[in-house]
Structures are given as structure tokens and as C-alpha cells.
Amino acid sequence: MSPQKSGDPAPDPDVTETGADHARVPVKIEEALGAAALAAICLISLGNVVVRYATNASFAFTEEFSVFLLVFMTFVGASAAFATNEHIRITFFLERFPPRLRWLAELVTLAVTTAMFAMIVWYGGRVTYDEWYWGETSPGLGNPVWLYTIWLPLLSVAIICRVWGRGWAKLLRPRRDG
């Protein structure tokens, strides 16, 4: 880590250069899945550009797979961000709060994030079930659509687990020890 300047906020003691020390499941899993999804998007897009340039035709599957992989990568990245406490927030105010108010803001963030991803689990699960039940297929390749949408509730459960793990490490464990 680089030396801290006098005006910089204090670094988070729970996060090191290797990721989240508190996490029982390594964050490297999300990082590898996200990197693989990004690499696949790049290869698919590059292949499509080369084929389109050379033959004036296009691969039919590129948009369908690229959109799926982009959503997959976003959810995997969100899971990693919550595990390492790098999720989006307004640190300008948070760093200026007194410790009790900062703890309360973290608790509210935990609750709201859990509620949002729980809704994605519920409604994403219902959509996935409906697509499976009715045998809906994708317009481009004719694949079962539920194969794409099942990842929304599954990855949302992973995000909720990461959020709870982060909440445990940041909010509850320090209170119990102290």
C-alpha cells in the first residue's frame, strides 16, 4: 500500500491489497468470473467485427450472448465490490460523520441493499419460473430464456451473502469485540 498523506481519510482496516480479509469465500472467484465474462465479450465482439468486415455478414448470437455476459459481469462485480467494501457511496459525508452516525449509515445501507437484491431474487425467480413454465425461447438463437434470467436471482443471493458478510465484519463483529 502507498504511504498515507496527511489529508487522506484513514484506510479501511478490514480491506487489504488482497481483498476482503473477513470473507470466507475468496473474492478471487468473483474477480475470475468477471474477467472471464469480459474476455468472452471482447472475443465475441472482435470475432463479429472481423467476420462482418471480411464477409459482410454478422454472427447472430453476438448480441444475445454479449448482453447476457454484461449483466452477469455487472452482478459478479457488484458482489465483489460489496465483499471488499468498494461499493458506491457518498464518502464525502460518510467520512465526516461521527462514529455512531457512520455505523447507522452503514446499517441503513445494509438494510436497503438487502431489500433491493431480495426483490430481485423474488421477482427474478418469478420471471425465470414463468419463462421455464411457458417454454419461452430467445428470438435470436432459440435458446430457453430462463437459462439467461436464472442468473439474476442466483447472483442476487450471492450479493446478499456478501452484503451480510460485510455487515458482520464491519458492523457487528467490532461491536461484539469492543
Q: Which pLDDT tens digit goes with each residue over 55-111?
A: 988 887 888 999 999 999 999 999 999 998 888 887 888 889 999 999 899 899 999
Lowest mean pLDDT of 12-21, 114-123, 150-159, name the range: 12-21
pLDDT confidence of 144, banded at 50, 70, 90? very high
pLDDT > 80? residue 178 = no
Going from the C-alpha of 126 to that of each of 11, 131, 143, 156, the distances in angstroms are: 41, 9, 19, 14
**DSSP summary character for residue 24:** S
Give me 127's grid cell: 420471471
Tell if the pTM clears 0.85, that is, is over it.
Answer: no
Beta strands 19-20 and 15-16, pairing class:
antiparallel
pLDDT confidence of 18, banded at 50, 70, 90? very low
What is the overall mean pLDDT for the chain?
86
